[in-house]
Structure 1
Amino acid sequence: MSHTAHIPSHRKPRRSASKLAVRAGVAGGVLSTLAMAGTASASPAEPKTESTLEMPVLDMDLAAEVSSAVTTAAENTRLAAVEGELTAQEESARTGAAAEAKQAKEEAQKAAEKKAKEEADRKAEAERATRTSERTSLKTTSGSGSGSATAPQGTGTVTAPATGSAAAIVNFARAQVGKAYVMGGTGPSSFDCSGLVQAAYRQAGISLPRMSQAQSSAGKSVSLSALQPGDILYWGSKGSAYHVAVYVGGGKFVGAQNPSTGIVERSLSYDKPTGAVRVL
């Protein structure tokens, strides 16, 4: 066997006639197409119709509108701020005026109370001087009458120019002069008006109602021109009186007047009563 029998040949194989024919046909078709394209390009071009898209035209000036809106908003904000400031100022003024009025009222009330106290003290001093003079006169002229009664200890202790139950009532009432007035007080250190009258009548063994309204209806009515020691004086309407006191004779009465004066003895002309009743 030859050593070169299986060595492949290095020669290029010949192309077959059929493949060459196919390639020739393809090339001819391409050239034909190019020729037709050139012919078409040589003919005049048809005009093309172009369409234009029209945009809508805006009628308003957006910049002006925005500027106006901004200006309006700014003005509204400014007006709101001014209104708020005015409201705060008005509230502050009202508060300050109310405080000043309250202070002025308190000062006026204090001044009135001070003046009333000074006047009450002056009258009380004058009344004490008068009572001292009257007690000296009564002790000199009354002696030790068999029908007289002596009041309990107190700043107004005197011997009343009356006898029996009336003397007991009068003496007790006068003995309480100078003591304090306390609303609802029934003794022994302080009384209100009806509490004093009730306690005075208790000295004569007589039980009276507690309130001034009922006390003003406790007995029979008597004229102010025919009063007797021990009669009950009242201010206001009978049956609905707002103040009562004890008539002690000599045109005077003893009563628990108010917190400023306490229990005092006064002339009927100083504070004329509305009417009187007699229980004895």
Structure 2
Amino acid sequence: MSPRISNASLPDLILEPLVRNALMEDLGSYGDITTRSVVPGDVTYVARLNARADAVVSGMQIARIAFGLVDPTLDVKTLIGDGETAHKGETLMTISGSAASILMGERVALNFAGRLTGIATKTAAFVTAAAGTKTRITCTRKTTPGLRLVEKQAVLHGGGFNHRYSLSDAILIKDNHIAAAGGVQAVLEAVKANASHMMKVEIEVDRLDQLEDVLTVGGADVVLLDNMNNDTLARAVDMVQGRIITEASGNVTLERIASIAATGVDYISSGALTHSAQTVDLGLDF
């Protein structure tokens, strides 16, 4: 099966520092003393990274980097790549060479791959639930500190889309901004006066009268419809009439995806894609 998105990989150079830090955390100040104590240095093996459940795969690029940083002489072959579907029992990757080196890289490779495969798999389920509609599934900034880059990459592998990577990517005016600034009109007028013409603007509303204010004042490219029931979402989409992008968020579950998408919103965002994804069981078998 071809990957869900072909450009979701990043240059190894960008990911290497993250993987290197994880390896240093795991190896500690003196390295893998267990392996050094019991495994002769000249022993070689072919290890297989296997799926122990059906899943959409992510983290294979990172696993390859991890083994390569431990020992560049290891021969790593990816059989089922990021964005592809694996079935229980299938081999995702083989790693050939020094048994000691494979053992040293094993845990970091599995930690990343299991976590990211869980995110990709959960995202794919959301995307499937919205199939047949125009609605796209997107993540949020509710990511594990330090792992946002790779967790958002896993969302892409699952067929989803990315929201902001950081606070500097776009202007997203939320309820607390509106309260602090003095209302919808005040924040939108401030944006018009102060923001770069290159910067997209999104504003959160949780009532239709606020949405009416947004449409009247102007200045927003996207409206985030927060914690609205499906009837209210449908009314909001009808009010907007395609003038700005609509995004539904809040209280989003897999069971609600199809009904939310049926209201006609352009995007559904969910922090659960990253903060509540269950790690997929992967194993490295000698």
TM-score (norm 1): 0.21
Which has more strand, going by share of residues?
Answer: 2
Q: Which has the larger radius of gyration?
A: 1
- The answer to which structure, 1 or 2, has the higher relative contact order (CA under 8 A, 6+ apart) is 2
Which has more helix, going by share of residues?
Answer: 1
